Structure 1
């Protein structure tokens, strides 16, 4: 049976969801011990850029990054080989998640501007060899649930007419649902950028993306009983993951405000984010131009700018800028420190 399209609305939705929950409990262990862990975000950005170029589904992008994480966790790989590994992971994921006509073609990949900036030319034998190595590493099993596989199951009930906005009944369900979908996509991208989210099972990350979106949109209750029943997660279980997502959101807001700061002596156009309960616009998120997706990539040993700061541009509506009631979220009394990366030796890349 081909499970394509809106499976979460079909009669088998609950069975498929339970099968995914069962499978996620048996995902390969991730130790975070890759010697190239500091470059991980760069290659996650590379996968996101190429995925965006070919308009691949979120499930393919998330699966590709997860395959890369697992492979890097097991081998010590040179930077040049990592480029090949990352693109091979994307190709495998797209073959598993997308229709055949949407899978990126070799010639099109080689024609991308970012390929020339990396001095990388893909060959068919090289890709086949790398794909075979990846499949053998994962024992030919690519049925690996990610947060992107769960999000559509939660979204249909993420907003309800009984929800309150700032303590008042909602005036526009359609717009609220649109914002919910866009913010959930944004938080999914946030979770893709940091390997620290791999400590949580994918269904919890996905539920936390919905919960974080409700917090940002100031919907109450933050985690209503219907979502708790559907996901089987309580607010207390989601809170550690939600905190990490909101910290990243706060960081992106600050970065957006920095980029809006004018040169010295010029009139200020910086957006000031008021305290919770006040109304602001999404303009800081919408200042990012879509052309930034395909800027040439330059390899560096330092952490590159995060792709998630570019994904905020997806909050822009197709016809006109949408206005939102948004506030910078503070969770008093909570600790926001992420666990530091820890170096560890890994086996040699020998194939």
Structure 2
């Protein structure tokens, strides 16, 4: 009976992973054409702060940034409207990822920018975003993949649950940290999220002193070899001061959040109405391209 249940569980995992990989193939490719690319790191910080204040899940944060990257890649956004677009992406992502009771209202979003916009502005920008995405929000982000890959990330001794629990808590902290760091690197938004998630898993294992950092079960589950994952780990996650910062944060977790909202981080305007995309300060630039194997082959890294 146990063997039969285990077999069904393994079958479910394979089917789920196949679905994620299939959805990954149809993701929109981000080409780096956004005029906002030079200030993207500040936008990412602003988005993350807003999501933290709204107490949104990490999967929502990753989906919101993916939506924002895709939207910015295809539109010219005037600086005063950047915060409105960012909040609109958060709103769309929250409606898809969060429980209904945890989805922020437009008034909650507006409070983060000191009530600078009308409610109609949020509804209008939401509609623009959904049209641009063609209503396709079934996107497996790095956060989604990492939750799945984490099933094979740790050695599990059923006889020592307390040790495994402590190990798991520490691993989850590192994984959350590296996933957050991955948002800041624009280059990582142009590669497959499953690969970025794999690098975050490997970086977390290395940070905890778990060797080898890439095991055979992980290779089989993710579909990536050590040679494919290690360059990302060395370049973006465990180089420079990333590990020092991660360990310092783990030693002294500061959970304080600002009371005054996040309005000062991105300049906002007093726009009250939206008559058209152009009057809104957001104009379309180009058609979107599917992120499939053919376009990936044509891209030059």
Separation of aligned partners in 2, 1:253 and 1:228 = 23
- Is 1:48–2:48 an aligned residue pair? yes
Separation of aligned partners in 2, 1:285 and 1:196 = 26
Counterpart among 240, 245, 254 of residue 289 in structure 1:
254
**Residue 253 of structure 1 contacts residue 285 of structure 1 at CA under 8 Å; is this kept in 2?**
no
- Is 1:16–2:42 an aligned residue pair? no
Counterpart among 116, 119, 126 of residue 121 in structure 1:
116
- Is 1:349–2:276 an aligned residue pair? no
Q: Secondary structure at the match of 1:12?
A: helix
**Residue 212 of structure 1 contacts residue 242 of structure 1 at CA under 8 Å; is this kept in 2?**
yes
Separation of aligned partners in 2, 1:300 and 1:226 = 44
Counterpart for residue 155 of structure 1: 150
Q: How does 1:132-281 map to 2 (within 5 A)?
A: 132-161=127-156, 172-247=163-238, 250-252=240-242
Counterpart for residue 110 of structure 1: 110
Q: Secondary structure at the match of 2:34?
A: coil
Separation of aligned partners in 1, 2:124 and 2:234 = 41
CA distance change for structure 1 residues 14 and 253 in 2, over 3 Å: closer, same or farther?
closer
What is the TM-score with the length of structure 2 in the denominator? 0.78
What is the TM-score with the length of structure 1 in the denominator? 0.67
Moved more, 285-294 or 145-154: 285-294
* Alpha-carbon shift at residue 67 of structure 1 (Å): 0.6
CA distance change for structure 1 residues 36 and 209 in 2, over 3 Å: closer, same or farther?
same
Separation of aligned partners in 2, 1:87 and 1:195 = 19
Separation of aligned partners in 2, 1:247 and 1:74 = 32
Q: Secondary structure at the match of 1:350?
A: strand
Q: Secondary structure at the match of 1:76?
A: strand
* Alpha-carbon shift at residue 54 of structure 1 (Å): 2.1
Can you give the 5+ residue segments of structure 1 that lack an aligned partner in the other structure? 1-8, 163-170, 257-281, 302-347
**Residue 253 of structure 1 contacts residue 284 of structure 1 at CA under 8 Å; is this kept in 2?**
no
Separation of aligned partners in 2, 1:76 and 1:251 = 34
Encode CA deviations 1:162-217: one digit per residue, 9 max, x unaligned: 8xxxxxxxx93332222111111111001111111023201111111111111111
Separation of aligned partners in 1, 2:206 and 2:186 = 23
Can you give the 5+ residue segments of structure 2 that lack an aligned partner in the other structure? 1-8, 268-280, 285-301
Separation of aligned partners in 2, 1:93 and 1:46 = 16
Higher relative contact order (CA 8 A, sep 6+): 2
* Alpha-carbon shift at residue 287 of structure 1 (Å): 3.7
**Residue 59 of structure 1 contacts residue 146 of structure 1 at CA under 8 Å; is this kept in 2?**
yes
**Structure with greater proportional helix content:** 2
Separation of aligned partners in 1, 2:245 and 2:219 = 33
Q: Secondary structure at the match of 2:256?
A: helix
Separation of aligned partners in 2, 1:207 and 1:293 = 33
Separation of aligned partners in 1, 2:253 and 2:42 = 19
* Alpha-carbon shift at residue 111 of structure 1 (Å): 2.9
Root-mean-square deviation over aligned CA pairs? 2.7
